[in-house]
């Protein structure tokens, strides 16, 4: 059947629209069963289309399919990477945070998500204002990606967001986190040095690593020391370069007569340059890197890129199943580390 008596002319959506007394776009919505129209309207238009002999144009369908396949995919959603560094310049100067952010953004793009850096703090967005901005922009995924150890809480309604932390276990309420396995790193560093012939290994921990990382490092070191020499006291030194730390460290090394020193969160090249040359040269230096890969010492390299990628994977999974809010039993995914023997 045709609308004008010409049996060879294909019935179009315009013909259906005319017969149903609606706009052509309404016909398109009805034939695609879009919920923007009521079920009754969709059924009426589909019935009219069938009565007057409308059939979709297969060539037009192929054209539209090809156009969709060639068109760049629309982002599946947005992710906020949250930091409490004082400004964008300070964030850019932090090699650790910049690398984590870059790898997280690459992984987000691979998974068809966008990612943007948001700074919270006294001179930046307040947590409450951040919540408003994110919800207004339709962003429901948050990565707590670069928070200082002193940040214990953020005034955010977590029930409205999917969230994952990157070594942000100090923040309350606790959320799922990804982190370097610092317990394993401390054990591995001590054992590697002892296996290489060192007999008196000291351990220097930066003062600003945060309680969680500090505790993991100390626990791992204690376990390994007691496994090797049960009666020995663990040789720890907490290092703050702005509080007379170099002189204190020099005295500590001399008094303990170490033949090796492991540092975490400490710039060992700077330490070596600051303390007396005869003290520095007599030591084997090793680093559990948290900020950057250090040259001139044995080390466990940082896992910046791995942390960023894995955090995004976990967050996207939560976004896809709309798993919002604080988990009842928060979990931390720990990344295993590797010992790097060669200096370089």
| Residue 259 pLDDT class (50, 70, 90 cuts) | confident
Q: Are 166 and 145 in contact (CB under 8 A)?
A: yes
Average pLDDT over residues 61-90: 74
Average pLDDT over residues 318-332: 91
176-190 pLDDT, tens digit per residue, is 999 999 999 999 999
pLDDT recorded at residue 100: 93
| Rounded Cα distance, 157 and 312, in Å | 21
Pairing of β 260-264 and β 177-180: unpaired
Which of 275-279, 285-289, 305-309 has the highest mean predicted lDDT (pLDDT)? 305-309
pLDDT recorded at residue 294: 65
Residue 255 has pLDDT above 80, yes or no: yes
22-57 pLDDT, tens digit per residue, is 998 898 888 888 877 888 898 999 999 989 888 877
Average pLDDT over residues 181-209: 90
Average pLDDT over residues 295-318: 88
User: Domains in the chain, start-ordered, CATH in brackets?
Assistant: 13-70 (1.10.260), 77-179+306-335 (3.40.50.2300), 182-300 (3.40.50.2300)
Coil/strand/helix, residue 216:
helix
Q: Which residues contact 43 (CB under 8 A, 6 or more apart)?
A: none
| Residue 166 pLDDT class (50, 70, 90 cuts) | very high
| Residue 248 pLDDT class (50, 70, 90 cuts) | confident
- Three-class SS of 301-323: CCCHHHHHHHHHHHHHHHHHCCC
pLDDT recorded at residue 340: 80
Coil/strand/helix, residue 201:
strand
Residue 79 has pLDDT above 60, yes or no: yes
Coil/strand/helix, residue 276:
coil
pLDDT recorded at residue 71: 52
Residue 251 has pLDDT above 70, yes or no: yes
| Residue 282 pLDDT class (50, 70, 90 cuts) | confident
């Amino acid at each position: 059947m045709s609308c004008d008596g010409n049996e060879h002319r294909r019935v179009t959506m315009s013909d259906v629209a005319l017969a149903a007394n609606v706009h052509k776009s309404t016909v398109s919505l009805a034939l695609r069963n879009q919920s923007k129209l009521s079920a009754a309207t969709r059924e009426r238009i589909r019935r009219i289309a069938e009565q007057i002999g409308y059939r979709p144009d297969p060539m037009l369908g192929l054209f539209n399919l090809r156009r969709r396949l060639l068109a760049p995919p629309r982002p599946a959603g947005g992710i906020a990477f949250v930091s409490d560094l004082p400004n964008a310049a300070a964030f850019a100067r932090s090699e650790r945070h910049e690398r984590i952010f870059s790898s997280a953004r690459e992984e987000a793009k691979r998974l068809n998500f966008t990612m943007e850096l948001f700074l919270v703090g006294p001179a930046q967005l307040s947590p409450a204002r951040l919540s408003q901005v994110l919800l207004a922009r339709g962003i429901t995924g948050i990565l707590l990606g670069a928070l200082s150890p002193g940040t214990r809480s953020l005034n955010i309604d977590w029930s409205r967001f999917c969230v994952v932390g990157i070594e942000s276990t100090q923040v309350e309420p606790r959320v799922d986190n990804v982190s370097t396995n610092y317990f394993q790193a401390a054990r591995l560093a001590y054992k590697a040095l002892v296996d290489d012939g060192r007999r008196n290994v000291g351990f220097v921990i930066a003062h600003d690593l945060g309680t969680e990382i500090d505790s993991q490092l100390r626990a791992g070191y204690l376990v390994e020391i007691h496994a090797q020499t049960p009666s020995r006291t663990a040789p720890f030194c907490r290092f703050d370069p702005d509080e007379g730390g170099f002189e204190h460290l020099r005295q500590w090394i001399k008094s303990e007569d170490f033949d090796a020193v492991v540092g975490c969160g400490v710039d060992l090249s700077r330490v070596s340059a600051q303390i007396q040359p005869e003290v520095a040269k007599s030591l084997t230096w090793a680093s559990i890197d948290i900020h950057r890969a250090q040259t001139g010492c044995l080390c466990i390299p940082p896992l910046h890129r791995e942390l960023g990628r894995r955090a995004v994977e976990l967050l996207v999974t939560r976004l896809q199943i709309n798993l919002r809010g604080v988990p009842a039993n928060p979990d931390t995914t720990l990344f295993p580390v590797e010992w790097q023997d060669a200096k370089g």
